[in-house]
Structure 1
Amino acid sequence: MRVAVAGASGRMGRMLIEALRASDDMVLAGALDVAASPAIGSDATAFLGHASGVAITADLRTGLENADVLIDFTRPEGTLAHLAVCSELGVKAVIGTTGFTDAQKSEIAACAQRTAVVMAPNMSVGVNVTFKLLQMAAKAMATGYDIEIIEAHHRHKVDAPSGTALKMGEVIADALGRDLKECAVYAREGVTGERDPSSIGFATIRGGDIVGDHTVLFAGIGERIEITHKSSSRATYAQGSLRAVRFLADRKTGMFDMFDVLGLN
């Protein structure tokens, strides 16, 4: 399959390009970045000491013209602009971007009527198995347990809580028959009063080069259960993204997530 990568000169973009180069069933067919990037015009695999013949470009149509699928881990506004062109050209998309508003998610769903899209706040296989474990745990501990989600990421991350932490909250809330918008608590300060037993709390840590740590605490009387996932490399996100690309091979339209890709539904 011919794959284009958005944000090609960034940390995640380079990890994706490296994974594609090591793959035996995919080839890098396009590389996109913002016009202000100093990497524009350079070979997309130059950082690996190889020449791919694919130049990094800010022109969407040029970057997508030879691609079957775009992998995008950029920013919401950029992803939406990319996806609009993808849906026009019939290019499928794997979206790992986080921080979308509800209105932006609706735009993506509309594009998925014209092309096939896999979107997930975290492409890691392990994280998505963790989501499934959380779903099971929440159903079994629906009463008598307070639920707190703690996440930590590197100092450069711009959104909080992380998309993965929010997805964890959504999975748990759905399993409990609650609406996360109604029960989420994102900050505590001062005299807050007793904890609402129906709430789901979030705590955010930012520092150093932490790739991504997530822990969900189910705190009961006399015991507590912690379900934790820790990422030590972005390679897990890249490999999950390639699995999503393979999943899209025989799909023309539709909106999918990593549960679909991994058969966890």
Structure 2
Amino acid sequence: MARIGIIGSAGRMGQAIAEVLQGSANTLAGGVDAGENVANLAEVSEVLVDFSAPKALEGNLHAAIGAGIPLVIGTTGLSEAHHTAIDNAARAVPILQTGNTSLGVTLLAHLVKEAASKLGPEWDIEIVEMHHRYKVDAPSGTALLLGEAAAEGRGIELTANTESGRDGHTGARAEGAIGFAALRGGTVAGEHSVILAGEQERLTLSHSAESRLIFARGAVKAAEWLIGKPAGRYRMQDVLGL
């Protein structure tokens, strides 16, 4: 049983995590939102789960370090500077950062990496995602996670091999590129497909999220798993032993 504190407790994911905790053996230590004291929450928690906003990340990292407790980061839209800050903080406390806490998506990323490693660069990779109309970042953190998995499978850098936002006369698709397309509308919790298109054949690996509760369950599982781990940076794959 763990005492879990939620950063961003009034948000959609924060509320979903609280709902999951009500039906589990874990305890909700409390929650904070913008303008509230994260350090106080950290003092009464065994682990923090952060689904707030990128601008709050630095303060959340300091709170976790100050209390000496683990931190699960599910906030998306992070910059390179944010990732550098996470790397630095992970020298002091265990931190698990991911673009998606779903266990199904975690396994999907593993399969994408395997497929990309087995199929050559002549197989074009396109990642298509759709989310609700209120999502503010694109491509989604999950799409980028899947893109990173594909790039890792091919032994390339994603940032140097990305195609997105195609419009007008763009010319032919670059061989080996990883393409992204983002759709927004309605109340879609999350749809992701990774298409590997070869000569006269096509392989599609996909995941459909029917409720935010799947992400909440994964976040809680990650928080439980992270307690007692040594300082370092972890991934959802580690939770599943992949």
Are the equivalent residues in 2 in contact too, given 1:124–1:237 (CA < 8 A)?
A: yes
Give the SS at the match of 1:128. helix
Amino acid at match of 1:81: G
Identity of aligned residues (%): 39
Of 78-87 and 105-114, the range deviating more from structure 2: 78-87
Aligned to 2:159: 181
Amino acid at match of 1:12: M
The count of corresponding residues between Structure 1 and Structure 2 is: 241
Structure 1 CA distance for aligned equivalents of residues 69 and 30 of structure 2? 12
Aligned to 1:160: 138
Amino acid at match of 2:20: A
Amino acid at match of 2:124: D
Structure 2 CA distance for aligned equivalents of residues 163 and 254 of structure 1? 21
Give the SS at the match of 2:220. helix
Give yes or no for the alignment of 1:97 onto 2:75: yes
Deviation at 1:144, TM superposition (A): 2.6
Aligned to 2:147: 169
Deviation at 1:90, TM superposition (A): 0.8
Deviation at 1:89, TM superposition (A): 1.4
Give the SS at the match of 1:250. coil
Aligned to 1:77: 55
Structure 2 CA distance for aligned equivalents of residues 80 and 19 of structure 1? 27
Give the SS at the match of 2:181. strand
Structure 2 CA distance for aligned equivalents of residues 198 and 252 of structure 1? 37
Deviation at 1:92, TM superposition (A): 1.2
Q: What's the CA shift string for 1:92-136, capped at 9, x where partnerless?
A: 111111111112101011111111111111000000000011011
Give the SS at the match of 2:194. strand
Aligned to 1:2: 3
1:135-154 alignment, distance < 5 Å: 135-154=113-132
Q: What's the CA shift string for 1:76-97, capped at 9, x where partnerless?
A: 1112211111111112111111
Match of 1:114 among 61, 68, 92: 92
Amino acid at match of 1:31: G
Give yes or no for the alignment of 1:218 onto 2:196: yes
Q: What's the CA shift string for 1:26-53, capped at 9, x where partnerless?
A: 1011210124xxxxxxxxxxxxxxxxxx
Give yes or no for the alignment of 1:63 onto 2:64: no
TM-score when scaled to structure 2?
0.96
Gaps of 5+ in 1: 36-57
Structure 1 CA distance for aligned equivalents of residues 86 and 137 of structure 2? 19
Amino acid at match of 2:13: M
Structure 2 CA distance for aligned equivalents of residues 198 and 155 of structure 1? 31
Give the SS at the match of 1:121. coil
Higher relative contact order (CA 8 A, sep 6+): 2
Aligned to 2:13: 12
Structure 2 CA distance for aligned equivalents of residues 243 and 112 of structure 1? 19
RMSD of the alignment, in Å? 1.1
Deviation at 1:146, TM superposition (A): 1.0
Q: What's the CA shift string for 1:173-221, capped at 9, x where partnerless?
A: 1111211111101111111111111211100001111101000111111
Of 110-119 and 127-136, the range deviating more from structure 2: 110-119
Aligned to 1:22: 23
Q: Tell me which structure has the larger Cα radius of gyration.
A: 1
